[in-house]
Structure 1
Amino acid sequence: MQTLIICIDRDDDLGEKANVTTPLIGREDNINAAVKLATADPEDSDSNTIFGGVNVLDELLAKGVDAEIITFAGDKNVGIISDQKISAQLDAFMREHEATNAIFISDGAEDETLLPIVQSRIKIDSVKRIVVKQSANLESTYYILKHALNDPKISQTFFVPLGLAAMIYAIFLLARYPEGAIIGISAAIGLYMLYRGFNLDQPFALLRERIKNSFYEGQMTFVTYTIAAIMGVIATMIGAVTLWQYYITGGSWYYGIITLITIYINVTIWWYVVAILFADLGKMVDQKLSKSFTIKEISPALFIIAIGLLFWGASSYILSVSALAGETLNSELSLQYFVYSVVGAIMIALLGIKISMTGTSSEKLPKKGKDKAKK
């Protein structure tokens, strides 16, 4: 074929709503899929995108151009996961078929973010955006708001903070502590804004996809990730309870905010370190079973231990010289612990660096040996 007409369904409405598997190659398969999607959800614009691609195909065929239409779908987790799935489908298609140029069909700016990915694999001659014409009644404010709030992307951004604030307020009212509701609501909304601001939904989506794959493939990482999550929850609860006990006995005005934060770090750091080590251990076991394990995989675990040692030593020293310090001897002893922790962390980090460099050099040795053998 000479020209490829590419339609993109980035959020996989074809699979989620119409139960259609992509890629869809050919006019008949694309029309059938578009009809199924339009039947399942008449308001979805992806069906119009496919019909628009079929219209372009008919025009090219009428002019004698050798053309074909294909539709790719991503994943409901729009972002890295969906783009990787579309890239894999496109690569598989290009390995089996030859096409010199392509026409990109989209229904908006979201699908057009895939243009650089497609252009890296095939020349794009034209981009056509399908715009659905609406009647005056459908363009009313009520209709726009109603359907915008039905969109999961918008509803999650709008309703989650409100629902979270209402739940926290209700919990504090039941506990007969309405003053704490302001603190809880502010903290929850602040964490949510940081989560959205740093775009952490993509890493969490990747982690969820990895855990799901490890479960279905019977990997050790599923068990160790579960253990790590449980230990993380336990650590958070221990830190919160300890922090609350100090707060109600003295308050932040007595101990100081930095001291309270240091208390939390001191009582939870080793729980978090062990949780991360469990997750890393499962990864190493799976690599060992798949025969892809190298000695340098141990380096991250050593760095985690070194960081935990530093945080523990520093937090212990800060607590000894703060309002919680009882005697000068404790301060001197904790200073020694801090110095020992710094020295120990440096030694462990250097060991991790040496192991990492050893693993890298050992991977290069067989290649050199093969080159010498050929000579």
Structure 2
Amino acid sequence: MTTLVVCLDRTDDVGRKTGLRSPVVGWEAVRALVTDVGLADPEDSGVNTLLESLRVAQNLRDESEEVVVAVVSGDHESMVSADRAVADQLDDLITEYEPESAIVVTDSAEDERLIPIVESRVRVDSVDRVVVRQARDIESTYYLLKQFLADEELRQTVLVPIGLTLLVFPLLATTVGPATGAAAITTVIGLFLLYKGFNVDEILARLAHQTQESLYSGQVSVVTYVVAAGLTFVGLFVGALGVSNVGETPGVVIPATRFAFDSIPWLAMAALTASAGRLLDEAISDEPIRTSFLNLPFIVVAVSLVVRGFSAYFLEQQDAIEPFVVPAHTLWVLSNERFAMGAGQRLALFVVTAIVVSLVGARIASSLSGQRDDLDSADGGAPSETGADREPEAAADATGTPDSEPPADRTDPELTDGGADAGADVDPSEERTR
């Protein structure tokens, strides 16, 4: 039974400090490597990791096991290249020594990320992580702080919020009180954590990049998005005016319903304008229009009708709006008198209209998609053969010559001597002379 004691070095600290290429295999080679790494950087924890690998290998040898100790290093250029280098070196070691199990020795969580690569190739019996005992004094704390301050990302993430808090809290405590100041600072810190947690900075950067590309490419959706934003603000303003006209009403149900009733037409127009711009961009581009963009305007109209119908039903039940009256001399009424629809009838009309609109949109989108598929299949079919494109065999079939008839032999006497008629005029004696 052969056991592989492998020391993992993902960032290739050993190679950069000694100039040696991994893998380093064998007891003597690893022991010499300990001296080289110790002379290059005595403070490196990799020295302790190499010594731990030798100790584990020695203990296994004392138990009469066949042991192969090796040091496998990655690449400091990128993590992907480092992992692939470690995988290639492990494949070579396993092919050469054929170990049945492995013991992994690491000194950091960064190196432990290579353990799944080892497990995918050989059974791992143990993972030995080396933790170097440090003196807990002022000097060690100083070096830890020095390493912390050397990292620019940690400084910006930790020190900047702490510094702003220490500057702002005394000002707020003297002006609005300690409790209010602490609440304000806690709110800002919470918003900052949410900002970092949801990657808002990346979302904003991606949005700015997409906007820049849209402006430079001349897309119609840029203009329609601006118009849609204006209609959205108008809808919010109209909804707010409707809520202000409600008056003193207990609860928030009626004001919210009034806001939806007044603002939904403008919000629907904003959504239709934005979807129309996106649809025009799809139509202008060379790619075929997707079905989702064709169906989107109908869905917007259907949803707006449903929201408008339900909000009108609740408001009419509370006598906040007048019933819907159909004027006389229209197609909806059969008499010359006006017809007032009830709240339920009005809701049913809006819901049925929304369903019809959504079905019409789905039908139009599916029909256009079917026509596009038919055109694609027609364009992608095999071209019809013309007389010039036909093979010689096909041309022969057209003239009535069978395909199976072999070609005539040009050395046939009937062809060279003029055929049977020519041979009949020859005297038999002359034929024998030939």
TM-score (norm 2): 0.42
Larger fraction in helix = 1
Q: Flag the structure with more relative contact order, 1 or 2, with Cα contacts below 8 A and sequence separation at least 6.
A: 1
